[in-house]
Amino acid sequence: MKKIVLIGLISAVLSGQIARAETAPETVNIGFQKANIFALLKYRGTLDSEFKKQGITVKWIEFPAGPQMLEGLNIGSIDLAATGDAPPAFAQAAKADLVYLGHSPANPKTEAIVVPQNSPIKTVADLKGKRVALNKGSDVNYLLVRALEQAGLTYKDITPVYLPPADARAAFQRGAVDAWVIWDPYYADAETNANARLVKNAEGLVPHYTFYLASSKFADSWPQTAKQVVDQLGTLSDWANKNPQEAAKILSTSTGLPQPIWQRALGRMPYGAERMTPQVFKEQQALADTFTRVGLLPVKIDVRSATWSLDKK
């Protein structure tokens, strides 16, 4: 009888160990770009240290931009990502398997329409008939559409020149385009080193968030692990907001941009990590609807269809 009880106890303990082991994944694959908050989290090493205690290995996978990263999320090569406003909307239109875990504070000062210092362009209305460089389908694409509409123009009133930041800067400096719509830290670099003058930033036009995203499979399978990542982003944000010089140093190492450029960018870039709210979903829906209306998105999407199951309860 004692032997049977002992076997039962051993079985229960082993079952408990197995159950505990199954409450967290063995590996978490995180996509990052050199300039975003996950790069800061990677170089700080705090998430790796915390997860190591739980037997979780973090693998960091670098991507050149948000759309490629969300494709990686969709096909399962990564579990988590952070991008600006626009890439998730395009990913949803492509029926990508993702959910919104949270978002940063709004940071409309971090993206802007700029022109050369000696340009005759003084207002957004002056962009009519002009060549404007931007990254197609990016967050600044939304800023440009909204700014033009506020000025009584349409997207058809300008000639968009779709270029990634490095090529756009070269075109801007040689005068091949009349204006450039860009975001930090490239905006700060353009102000400092490319003789750029501000025409309009996103204040009063669009909120501009960073969104924290996960594949729905990962978020639903490992909800507590996903929540821990958002919590870690919150802790990191508090540190970065209080220690901008140290954060600038880390991001300078990550991107190769000088530390003063990052200090300038961080001066208008509040970090933070908050769970999604109806208001933020509403603002993201407005972005998606605008892109559909001007033909940048091929279909209408329901942003809330990517609500995390933990937030539906």
Residue 167 CA to chain centroid, in angstroms?
Answer: 21
pLDDT at 71: 92
**2-106+209-312 belongs to which CATH class?**
alpha beta
Query: What DSSP line would sit under 27-43, residue for residue?
Result: EEEEEE-TTSHHHHHHH
Q: Which 3 state secondary structure label does DSSP give 300? A: coil
Q: What is the mean pLDDT of residues 280-306?
A: 96
pLDDT at 12: 43
Closest by alpha carbon to 85, among 259, 209, 257? 209
Its pTM stands at 0.89
CATH 3.40.190.10 applies to domain 108-201:
yes
- Is the pLDDT at 188 greater than 80? The verdict is yes
Q: What is the mean pLDDT of residues 90-97?
A: 94
pLDDT at 313: 60
- Indicate if 108-201 has the same CATH topology as 2-106+209-312: yes
Task: Report the half-sphere exposure of 295 (CA within 13 A, side-chain side).
Answer: 3
pLDDT at 310: 82
186 band by pLDDT with thresholds 50, 70 and 90: very high
Residues in the chain: 313
Residue 310 vs residues 19, 61, 280: alpha-carbon distances, Å: 20, 26, 17
**In whole numbers, what is the pLDDT of the chain averaged over residues?**
92
Residue 168 CA to chain centroid, in angstroms?
Answer: 20
* Maximum separation of any 2 CA atoms in the chain, in Å: 94
Among left, alpha and beta (phi > 0; psi -120 to 50; other), residue 121 is beta
In the chain, alpha helices (H)? 2-21, 37-44, 46-53, 66-75, 86-93, 139-150, 165-173, 186-193, 216-221, 223-242, 244-255, 259-266, 278-293, 309-312
- Is the pLDDT at 36 greater than 50? The verdict is yes
- Token pair for residue 27? 């590996």
Looking at the chain, the whole-number percentage of residues with pLDDT higher than 70 is: 93
Give the start-to-end residue ranges of the domains of the chain. 2-106+209-312, 108-201
- Is the pLDDT at 6 greater than 50? The verdict is no
